[in-house]
Amino acid sequence: MYFAAAVKPYWLTGDRRQAARSARLARRWVWVSVLLWAVVTLVLIATGRLGRLLEAGVL
């Protein structure tokens, strides 16, 4: 979120290099979070805990 929010101010002040860097880092962190979510979800499914969390109303 931090890097994504930083893109526009850098772009508007003319710092194209820093804007591109922030956009690249924002994109990278989105992919890291998606992959981490997928791994955690697969682990919860494999261990049978996902159903328990859903029944308990945690998720």
Scanning the chain, the segments in alpha helix (DSSP H) are 2-12, 16-47, 49-56
pLDDT of residue 50: 85
Query: What is the Cα gyration radius of the chain?
Result: 18
Tens of pLDDT, residue by residue over 11-43, are: 999 999 999 999 999 999 999 999 999 999 999
Domain ranges of the chain: 2-56
Taking the C-alpha atoms of residue 34 and residue 28, their distance in angstroms, rounded to an integer, is 10
| pLDDT score of 55 | 87
pTM of the model: 0.71
What does DSSP assign to residue 15? -
Q: Provide the pLDDT for residue 27.
A: 96
